[in-house]
Amino acid sequence: MCQLLGMNCNVPTDICFSFEGFSARGGKTDDHSDGWGISFSEGKGCRIFLDAKPSIASPLAELVRRYPIHSTHVIAHIRKATQGEIAIENCHPFCRELWGRYWVFAHNGNLPDFHPQNNGFFQPVGNTDSEQAFCLILNALRASFPDGKPPLKLLYPVLSKITAELNSIGIFNYLLSDGEHFFTHCSTKLWYIIRQAPFAAAHLIDEEMTVDFSELTTPSDRVAVIVTIPLTDNEIWTQIQPGEILVFQDGLPLNVE
Residues at the site binding its own copies, with contacts judged by CB under 8 A? 42-50, 59-60, 63, 67, 87-91, 95-97, 99-102, 121-126
Four-residue CA torsion sign, 142, 84, 190, 206: negative
Rounded Cα distance between 206 and 30, Å, is 9
Helix 59-66 × helix 16-24 angle, to 10°: 150
Shorter beta-carbon distance to its own copies: residue 99 or 191:
99
How many angstroms separate the CA atoms of 22 and 229, rounded? 9
CB of 15 to its own copies, least distance (A): 16
> Is the CB of residue 248 less than 8 Å from the CB of residue 184?
yes
Q: Tell me whether residue 132 or residue 228 sits nearer to its own copies (CB atom).
A: 132
135 assigned to active site? no
The minimum distance between CB 22 and its own copies, in angstroms, equals 20
- In angstroms, how far is CA 91 from the centroid of its own chain? 13
CB 142, min distance to its own copies, A = 9
State which residue, 88 or 164, has the beta carbon closest to its own copies: 88
**Active site (catalytic) residues:** 2
